[in-house]
Amino acid sequence: MLCVGSVLGKYVRGIVNTKEDWVFLTRFCFLTDFGRLNFKFRYPKSRCCQNILLYFDESSQWPAVYKRPDKDCYQKESVLRPENNQVINLTTRYTWSGCMVEGEGNEEMLNCVGGRSFRSVRERWWYIALSKCGGDGLQLEYEMTLTNGQSFWTQHFSADEFGILETDITFLVIFATVFTLSCYFAYNLKGRQLLHTTYKMFMTAAGVEVLSLLFFCIYWGLYARDGVGNGSLKILGKLLFSVSFLIFLLMLILLGKGFTVTRARISHSGSVKLSIYMTIYTITYIILFIYEAEFFDPGEVLYAYDSPAGYGLMGLQLLAYVWFSYAVLVSLKHHPEKQPFYIPFFTAYTLWFFAVPVMALIANFGISRWAREKIVNGIQLGIHLYAHVVFLAITRPSAANKNFPYHVRTSQIGILLSSPKGMGAESFPHHAYGNSSFLGDSQPNFTDPLINILLSCMFVINKPIFRSFLTSDRCFWLKSIILLSQVKKLSHLNQERNMLKSSNIYK
């Protein structure tokens, strides 16, 4: 059997050459009143006579014949209703087929050009097949254009895709705003030495999400223009969408474990576990893409999560939630002063973790197939937006933000990491929040206890030679100070800072 075809959007063309007597060509979801099929068929007159069969999605039609090896060609044709014009006989005897004989002698060809309008009580999936029961096989060149109305926003779109372009444009604008705000907040955080790795991961996830939506909008815009589009853009958009999700998921697990909030680094065993988990998650995503591209049957309306790889992703999502929950509980146990951050953080993202698998199950079993793609697209983008907006809100650099998680400066983390293990290298000192003393971006950070100690030394021992020595051996002094200024001395440092303020040191 040889069946070579090219399916590009809702403009379909290809060549069929097979010994089978019944083959599936394509499918499309038409509107109730504006569905239209325009076709061009060409085949040798000696292979006459072939039929185009139009099935719709009722259980007595397409589901009753597709992938039913117990039914032969005649039985598959018998479910059609001739009074509904569901059979197009590709011969000159059937006027509505538009067939004409071209050429001479053994090279005579039947060239059929025509169309068909579709009307139904609701949007329906229609399936187009080719048959020649009891014959010597099928041979046909075909070209079909399937449309819904004449509007730019609907013409080339299947009814289940209506609104996707408008939805993607809307979310592109919203996510671009979120990314811009995150950059503005990052600028402020950097000035306060609070721009940590986890916040940079959030910015990366938001930026990749914007790129993903940009590629989706370009793809759907081109598709709306010609019904073909560029499949590579859609694939790239899906890949970036998945990358954004994985970065955000990794960030949540790291924050749950206290990274940059209660500790400067993750333990070696924790890093290995995270690496293995994210590798498995990434491989599963790749398998899902391959499965969707190679094994999804075009004769069935399937959803990406309606596959073994899709169910695997849902399982990994639930496993990530268990890990996330355990990590948050451990962080709260050792740092109860972080409750103002971790309680709303855990509550908000519990909803997010369950939203994805619940959405997948509803899409697979609770949404009509003729409306599934557009509804799922909107819900999925809404879930991603919820996750990004919540994080943007709880990390905004404002004195009024009681949930702000960071209190250790980025300049201190390098010193903590260079400390020997067992000397406070991993865990931060117990401290509530750094949001009550936000300063301007260009001002020196006088709230840092290390700077307070250095200023005290400089003003108590006001000698140029000491200041020169301190500057030249800054690294040594800072390391020495951080090892000495442990939790027991925090109260003393606060008193010293107040003394400096009262003595007009800031001037």
- Same domain for 205 and 317? yes
Please tell me the predicted confidence (pLDDT) of residue 8: 37
- Same domain for 267 and 193? yes
- Same domain for 36 and 67? yes
What are the Cα distances from residue 153, in Å, to 147, 161, 169, 364?
11, 10, 12, 26
What are the Cα distances from residue 85, in Å, to 51, 99, 100, 114, 146?
12, 16, 20, 14, 17
Contact in structure between 480 and 453 (CB atoms under 8 Å) = no
Q: What is the pLDDT of residues 399-428, one digit of tens each?
A: 777 878 887 777 666 555 555 554 444 555
Average pLDDT of the residues of the chain: 80
The backbone torsions φ and ψ at residue 368, rounded to the nearest 5 degrees and listed phi first, read -60, 145
- Same domain for 138 and 184? no
CATH number at residue 115: 2.60.120
Please tell me the predicted confidence (pLDDT) of residue 35: 85
How big is the CA angle at 221 (ends 218 and 225), to the nearest 5 degrees? 140
Please tell me the predicted confidence (pLDDT) of residue 187: 93
Q: Which helix (H) or strand (E) holds 306?
A: none
How big is the CA angle at 141 (ends 137 and 144), to the nearest 5 degrees? 120
CA distance 111 to 43: 7
- Same domain for 44 and 190? no
Contact in structure between 190 and 441 (CB atoms under 8 Å) = yes
Return the CA Rg of the chain: 33
Q: State what percent of residues in the chain have pLDDT above 90.
A: 40
Residue 71, pLDDT above cutoff 50: yes
Contact in structure between 375 and 164 (CB atoms under 8 Å) = no
Please give the span between the terminal C-alpha atoms of the chain, in angstroms, as a whole number.
88
In this structure, of 213-222, 276-285, 494-503, the range with the lowest mean pLDDT score is 494-503
Residue 46, pLDDT above cutoff 90: no
- From 94, 121, 148, the end of a domain falls on 148
In this structure, of 377-381, 395-399, 404-408, 449-453, the range with the lowest mean pLDDT score is 449-453
What's the mean pLDDT in 209-226? 93
Residue 71 lies inside a defined structural domain of this protein: yes
- Same domain for 106 and 139? yes
- Same domain for 252 and 367? yes
Residue 144, pLDDT above cutoff 80: yes
- Same domain for 212 and 308? yes
- Same domain for 243 and 299? yes
What are the Cα distances from residue 247, in Å, to 237, 268, 333?
15, 20, 26
Residue 350 lies inside a defined structural domain of this protein: yes
The backbone torsions φ and ψ at residue 154, rounded to the nearest 5 degrees and listed phi first, read -130, -25
Contact in structure between 284 and 312 (CB atoms under 8 Å) = yes
What's the mean pLDDT in 83-98? 88
Residue whose tokens read 């059979």: 87
271, two tokens = 């890093």
Contact in structure between 54 and 96 (CB atoms under 8 Å) = no
The backbone torsions φ and ψ at residue 6, rounded to the nearest 5 degrees and listed phi first, read -130, 115
- Same domain for 57 and 176? no
In this structure, of 67-71, 201-205, 465-469, the range with the lowest mean pLDDT score is 465-469
In this structure, of 37-46, 267-276, 285-294, 373-382, the range with the lowest mean pLDDT score is 285-294
- Same domain for 232 and 366? yes
Residue 415 lies inside a defined structural domain of this protein: yes
CATH number at residue 174: 1.20.1070
Neighbours of 103 (CB within 10 A): 12
Top-confidence residue, 309 or 333: 333
CA distance 407 to 417: 16
Please tell me the predicted confidence (pLDDT) of residue 416: 54
Residue 402 lies inside a defined structural domain of this protein: no
Q: What is the DSSP letter of 427?
A: B
Question: Quick one: how far is CA 2 from the chain centroid?
Answer: 37
Residue 454: pLDDT band (50, 70, 90) is very low
Q: What is the DSSP letter of 430?
A: P
Please tell me the predicted confidence (pLDDT) of residue 437: 41
Residue 246 lies inside a defined structural domain of this protein: yes
- From 346, 361, 394, the end of a domain falls on 394
Look at the chain and report how many structural domains it folds into: 3
Q: What is the pLDDT of residues 239-248, one digit of tens each?
A: 999 999 999 9
- From 332, 360, 394, the end of a domain falls on 394
Q: What is the DSSP letter of 406?
A: -
CA distance 281 to 320: 10
The half-sphere exposure of 59 on its side-chain side, counting CA atoms within 13 A, is 0
Please tell me the predicted confidence (pLDDT) of residue 465: 44
Residue 73, pLDDT above cutoff 90: yes
Instruction: Note down the domain range covering 223.
Output: 163-394
Type of residue numbered 202: F
Residue 122 lies inside a defined structural domain of this protein: yes
What's the mean pLDDT in 431-456? 44
Please tell me the predicted confidence (pLDDT) of residue 267: 84
- Same domain for 185 and 275? yes
Residue 154 lies inside a defined structural domain of this protein: no
Residue 404 lies inside a defined structural domain of this protein: no
What's the mean pLDDT in 437-450? 42
Please tell me the predicted confidence (pLDDT) of residue 250: 94
Residue 459: pLDDT band (50, 70, 90) is very low
Closest CA to 124 of 32, 9, 26, 38: 32
Top-confidence residue, 470 or 220: 220
Residue 41, pLDDT above cutoff 60: yes
Residue 153, pLDDT above cutoff 50: yes
Please tell me the predicted confidence (pLDDT) of residue 170: 97
Top-confidence residue, 100 or 82: 100
Please tell me the predicted confidence (pLDDT) of residue 2: 34
Q: Choose the most confident range, by mean pLDDT, from 32-36, 143-147, 222-226, 265-269.
A: 143-147
